Amino acid sequence: MFSMKIRWVKFADSFAELREKLGERTTLLMPVNGQSLLLVQDLGKFYLVQNKCPHQGAKLEGAHCEDGHLVCPWHRYGFDLKTGRGAGLYLENYPIEERADGIYAGFEYFSLF
């Protein structure tokens, strides 16, 4: 029987470290779990998403946030930062969790157990 599990991968020591790395920017490419993912900061919260727009594949680095959505710089489609949904499409996003020893991102995978 298959079941969905989440593998948690540490990618920062603290939210303060992420704030410092981002500075005034909204987005920052980060190496996480062997991928180059996009860290997004909106209204003091952090999100981790794929750096590829689900519409026509544009890089989302440099995108801006509007009403809780990440807006693609190419055709301005917006994707909900919490769900990834927008314009009938889905932007892959990863949960972020703060733990005592750092900040972790969650990656879903199927397991036989």
What residue ranges bind ligand FES (CB under 6 A)? 53, 55-56, 58, 72, 74-75, 77
Q: Least CB distance from residue 66 to ligand FES, whole Å? A: 13
Between 77 and 104, name the residue whose CB sits nearer to ligand FES.
77
Q: Name the helix (H) or strand (E) containing 19.
A: helix 15-22
- Residue in the structure block whose two tokens are 């949960």: 95
> What are the structure tokens assigned to 69, written together?
């959505």
Closer by beta carbon to ligand FES, 80 or else 106: 80
Closest to ligand FES by CB, 56 vs 83, is 56
Max Cα separation, the chain?
A: 47
CB of 72 to ligand FES, least distance (A): 3
> What is the C-alpha separation between 37 and 57, in angstroms, rounded?
14
Nearest distance in Å: CB 6, ligand FES:
27
